[in-house]
Structure 1
């Protein structure tokens, strides 16, 4: 099941990237990964780290002021395409709620999976929106 999920995830991203490449929204290729990675900072601050590792060390280094600053920078950069940015603002806390409900915290694997899902949903929003 895991291999099937990973394969479908990769296929979905490739299709969405190919669709996005034909349009005038090249800015999304920079902003969408940035939004997804900003999510890791938010999730590491909102959730308890379930295992020691890189994710736990990141949560100790990045403060809310850094997160707020990067959020403002990304929001300003996203003025050209509000749909993915608005979705990112709603999606990032929703992912935190999901991991809190499902596991009671977050691990490095959860961070990686969340980045991939966030990128795919934001790409879909950009293509459809």
Structure 2
């Protein structure tokens, strides 16, 4: 069965890069442009992994992570934060919100694929 990754980022090019890296490896990529869109797409699709930007309009990645963790429908879905920030404080805030990983942009295609494989197979 095909695993589905939700890519949430206000940058269309980042979302496209994620799809470009993962789709040839057999993953389905659902794209969302902000946290509100991402949360709605979580509800509308069977998502196996979320990779979300931290800084976005409407609802940022940490707020979306908290909203997902507060909804029992999404129990067990891993969330990885993708950001340009490498600050320890933000990493800890993301972890306390329920994120299980952190990737700093710009990301390497091999690194993304390795993390996705490790998280969901």
TM-score band by shorter chain is 0.3 to 0.5
Q: TM-score, normalised by structure 2?
A: 0.34
Q: TM-score, normalised by structure 1?
A: 0.33
Name the larger-Rg structure: 1
Give 1 or 2: higher helix fraction.
1
Which structure carries more relative contact order (alpha carbon 8 Å, separation 6+)? 1
